[in-house]
Structure 1
Amino acid sequence: MSNVLYELKKISSKNIVAPKGFSAAGIHCGIKHKKKDLAILASEVPASVAGVFTTNAVQAAPLFVTKEVVYNTGKMQAIIVNSGNANACTGKQGMADAYEMQKLAANKLGISPSYVGVASTGVIGEMMKMEPIRTGVEKLQLGKSLENGIDFAQAILTTDTVMKNTSYSTLIDGKEIIISGTAKGSGMIEPNMATMLGFITTDANIESKELQAALSEITELTFNAITVDGDTSTNDTVIVMANGLAGNDPLSPSHPDWDNFYRTLKAVAEDLAKSIARDGEGATKLIEVKVDGALNDEEARKIAKTVVGSPLVKTAVFGNDANWGRIIAAVGYSGASIDPEKISIKIGPALMVQNGEPFPFSEEQLTDILKSNEVKITVSLAQGDGHGLAWGCDLTYDYVQINASYRS
């Protein structure tokens, strides 16, 4: 079979249960006042699994449980998720509650607890309300419809204003495989690995080792390339489950269609990452920063993320202010190697800085560009072949309002 790059087909239904063999459910059980807050995602068979988790030294109880499944069991068949309570900084009782959630889901599905992951998001430092979860698990009715996928996606949200869903298909060994994802996150977003939860399903046949390597690499280019407010959560988790029901030969980098799988997984991750950045708390605009000509890709990504994370850049974008001095200052303090006399900067198509010096531009044109709901900033360094992308959002009055009253 030849190494053919097939077209990625975006699936309009954007359904986390679109791949073969997955089902889901989401309900309101009582952790939150009104909105859905409890969900389960399951596979018909144990699936290969990969995970990436927060780099915050303070980690929530569910992460320890899920890491055991990912790193020790190496297979996952289901994950139970709650929103409204992070189960973080809750001591031994919090750990016991996370394990109980694992067992509740396992008993519900008739599978081993060692195949069940746990994820939580919400307020830090409050004990989990377990009784609503106990009764809620019994009420969950898993299914494979679009509505089931929507219920799951809604149940994992906190301050999000919209669901984040995406789905693509491609061909592997001549067979259609589907990769779908859903995520939550709008504040406390500074992943190295923010609060961010991401769940990706696929019916592709791939071993956990190869899946983990692909996810870890793709995470650096997507989830770890976004920032909303510079805060790293205690609960960040991205999980990929691959149940193999598409029937393709096992995937690895030597497989003729590996690039098709990798590009499709990256497309799903990038869609979810950009959706999180676009839905930053109070945000009105998505900001994309592209850096080229850096010494290497790592330096380029560092600069891009520094620029998109600068509060002064973010507020300038919110105010439609073409203040390029804030951009070049962020480039300078990024910690990357630069030559100030070689820097050029564009906002949209408009050149503002050339070789480190002002380039004449129209304030009226730049104001119109900045009024768009997606603002693209390009920084060219003319030092090497490194390139990188990062995404974020503007910083608005509403961000302060949302976070000043989060617990109420």
Structure 2
Amino acid sequence: MSIEEIYQRFRNSNKVCTDTRKIEKHDLFFALKGDNFNGNKFAQQAIDSGANYAIIDEEEFYSGPQCILVNDVLETLQQLATHHRRQFDIPVIGLTGSNGKTTNKELLKTVLSKKYKVQATQGNLNNHIGVPLTLLSMPTDTEMAIIEMGANHQKEIEMLCKIAEPSHGFITNIGKAHLEGFGGVEGVKKGKGELLDFLKASEGYVFVNEKNETLTSMVKERQMVRAVYYGKDERALKMLSESPQVVFENPEGQKFTAHISGAYNFENMQTAYNIGLYFNVHSEDACEALASYAPDNNRSQLVKKGSNEIFLDAYNANPSSMEASLKNFMSYETEKGKVVILGDMFELGEDSEKEHESLGQLIAEGNFETVVLYGENMKAALKHLPMAFYFTDKFSIHNWVKDKAFDNKAFLIKGSRGVSLETIVQFIG
């Protein structure tokens, strides 16, 4: 069956679904495979649960005309997503980067939604499955799409661009993330730069914060003609304060207070604001949108528990984001005692020990009242932190935090997703 024929069945279905536990009547089920599961085995269950059709790639599970047999279910999902994307003559903004992808996506969605009907990546579904699902979730009246693209090795962004075909795009930053898969920072630049390569080849537009020298040089090295620069011109926002919350001013002199903190988040706000202006969102509307954004996903959250303040940024961590968060916390002026609780950084390969030890040096410069480290990799940081408390299991760190009964403290809690340090919050205050 051709993609065009499958597309007609998609248009007559409720939505695409890949999980039989979430099937609704008239869905189109894609029987994806993983390391530990085979969706083909659940095709009949999906049909029995109300799915119009089940897309499968193993003939033994064919049970009748509601099963559509293809060569590869995943490839079909991706091809269908591209076919659907091509039905729209709208801006499709692709974004990638080492840090802040989801925050940038949410800020930009909030700003553009002031003027347009926007469809954006849900959560952080930014891989070879999430990107197609985002595209296929676009209703026919979508006026703007924002596609987050994640990667941990070369050629992944290139592949996602071929699926999503962005007309516009930007890179949040280049940092020390997924060093193991990319092969170092230069590998990260090359991998993330695949978005720029696609936009240049397709004559798309790239947005560039010209205060970021790395990104500016990457664009200029490629001699990209359709580059929209911002950050240094008269239309840039001005940061008045970065902690505990960003306070900023627009070119008209209006002041706004955000729900997030840190100069690194102000850069994200600057990007969303200027892309909004490019697409004719009014300055005041864009600023109101930025000020209204309140994260609730363990990213850059400010949580208050009793007399304690908690800067919760526990969704993910790498050397670049750790440094940015720590420096922001160091600059925070408060009479409260400062406590840092930091967890392992993953996917650093042979650089892991060196990067954790360097992190220990940076923490030592912070003059924090209490330092708590969690995870096997963090052992390397102890070299510079003889007074730090060190844990390798959640039961112990939870009990320790609970027993301390912290009062009138300011906390920074950050670590990679695999250590889930947000679980500590319930034991504070």
TM-score (norm 1): 0.28
Relative to its length, the structure with more helix (as a share) is: 2
Of structures 1 and 2, the larger Rg is shown by: 2
Relative to its length, the structure with more strand (as a share) is: 1
Which of 1 and 2 has higher RCO (CA within 8 Å, sep 6+)? Answer: 1
TM-score (norm 2): 0.27
